[in-house]
Structure 1
């Protein structure tokens, strides 16, 4: 077992679904490890994206860096395919004009092969997600 950030492309994470896409701000930016790059939504809500892991991970804390997100729900799945999601947390975020929202979620050591992030509402017509950071352990199979 090793402690790692499983939400990095370099650790094998992938964004397998995003409800909107702009070629200048692709969803892969969420997992590149940089706060300067981001994925942006295009229009209506809810919007969502799903991060997949190459193997089951145990996560004790999630941090999301985003902008203008109002209500966020995070769900997990341990299925082989991205189905059977269970809600982990839903939270109203505070708007910080002109600066990134950095929200930390402490979790009771959830296991996941997929995480789904659903942006239910926003403070503006567009939001951006810059990074998802997880504190977790990748299970050795």
Structure 2
């Protein structure tokens, strides 16, 4: 498996359910765990990453804080609509430390990946990095 950067795949973060000017959604895909996107409270929270072309993704790692439950969906259309379920994961609480979770995406082919945080261990969550393996 090869770890790919989002820039090498032509990927962009195209939607986030909340935004804070000090912690913008684009921080999720910049490859740096010191920068992050922070939700503005309430659940669910979501963000969508779009690839330049249909891309095979085997697995991903999500570095986050206070995320409790995550759903991952995909689609293969040019527009961000009609998503299908890929996987879900319950995260452990890691008081004071980043959560780093590897998640299998079952060799999915996707144009868009939608990440839905359905619950957290606090009112606010942060996502520091998503990295893909294809």
Q: TM-score range by the shorter chain?
A: over 0.9
In the alignment, which residue of structure 1 is the partner of 2:84?
86
Count how many residue pairs are aligned between Structure 1 and Structure 2: 134
In the alignment, which residue of structure 2 is the partner of 1:104?
102
Note the residue ranges of structure 1 that are not aligned, 5 or more in a row.
Answer: 137-141
SS at match of 1:48: strand
TM-score (norm 1): 0.90
Note the residue ranges of structure 2 that are not aligned, 5 or more in a row.
Answer: none
In the alignment, which residue of structure 2 is the partner of 1:62?
60
Find the aligned partners of 1:92 and 1:11 in 2 and give their Cα distance: 28
Find the aligned partners of 2:84 and 2:109 in 1 and give their Cα distance: 11
Task: Select the residue among 23, 30, 34 that pairs with 2:21.
Answer: 23
Q: Which runs of structure 1 show a deviation greater than 4 angstroms over 4 or more consecutive aligned residues?
A: none
TM-score (norm 2): 0.95
SS at match of 1:106: strand
Deviation string 1:48-94 (CA, Å, 9 cap, x unpaired) is: 00000011110111110000000100001111111110111111110
